Amino acid sequence: MPDPAPPASNFRIDGKRLWDTLMDIAQIGATPKGGVRRLTLTEVDRRGRDRFRIWCEAAGLTVRIDSMGNMFARRPGRDPARLPVLMGSHLDSQPSGGKFDGALGVIAGLEVMRSLNDLGIVTEAPIELVNWTDEEGSRFGHSLMGSGVWAGVYPQPEMEALKDPDGVTVGAALDSIGYRGPEPARPFPADAYFELHIEQGPILEREAKTIGIVTGAQAQVWYDAVVTGRDSHAGTTPPSARKDALVGAARIIDLVDRMMRARGEDGRGTVGQLFVSPNSRNVIPGEVRFSVEFRHPDEAEIDRLDAQFPREAGFIARDTGVSLELTRLFRIPAQPFDPACVDLVRQAAARLGYPAREIVSGAGHDAVYVARHVPTAMIFTPCLDGLSHNEAESIEPHEAEAGGQVLLEAVLARANRVGG
Residues that bind Zn ion (CB under 5 A): 101-102
Rounded to the nearest angstrom, the gap between the alpha carbon of residue 329 and the centroid of all alpha carbons in its chain is 20
Half-sphere exposure in the Cβ direction for 2 (13 Å, CA): 15
To Zn ion, the closest distance from the beta carbon of 94 in angstroms equals 9
Name the residue among 267, 266, 248, 249 with its Cα closest to residue 258: 267
Nearer to Zn ion, 138 or 320 (CB): 138
Q: Within 10 A of 153 (CB to CB), how many other CB atoms are there?
A: 13
Distance CA 135, CA 366 (A): 7
To Zn ion, the closest distance from the beta carbon of 386 in angstroms equals 14
To Zn ion, the closest distance from the beta carbon of 38 in angstroms equals 12
Name the residue among 248, 233, 16 with its Cα closest to residue 114: 16
Rounded to the nearest angstrom, the gap between the alpha carbon of residue 27 and the centroid of all alpha carbons in its chain is 23
To Zn ion, the closest distance from the beta carbon of 197 in angstroms equals 6
Nearer to Zn ion, 135 or 244 (CB): 135
Nearer to Zn ion, 308 or 390 (CB): 390
* 209, 382 contact by CB (below 8 A): yes
Q: What residue is closest to Zn ion based on CB? A: 102
Bridge partners (DSSP) of residue 221 are: 294, 331
To Zn ion, the closest distance from the beta carbon of 44 in angstroms equals 17
To Zn ion, the closest distance from the beta carbon of 79 in angstroms equals 33
Distance CA 331, CA 221 (A): 4
Q: Which amino acid appears at position 2 of this protein?
A: P
Nearer to Zn ion, 69 or 77 (CB): 69
Distance CA 188, CA 374 (A): 9
Nearer to Zn ion, 144 or 246 (CB): 144
Nearer to Zn ion, 338 or 393 (CB): 393
SS3 for 266? helix
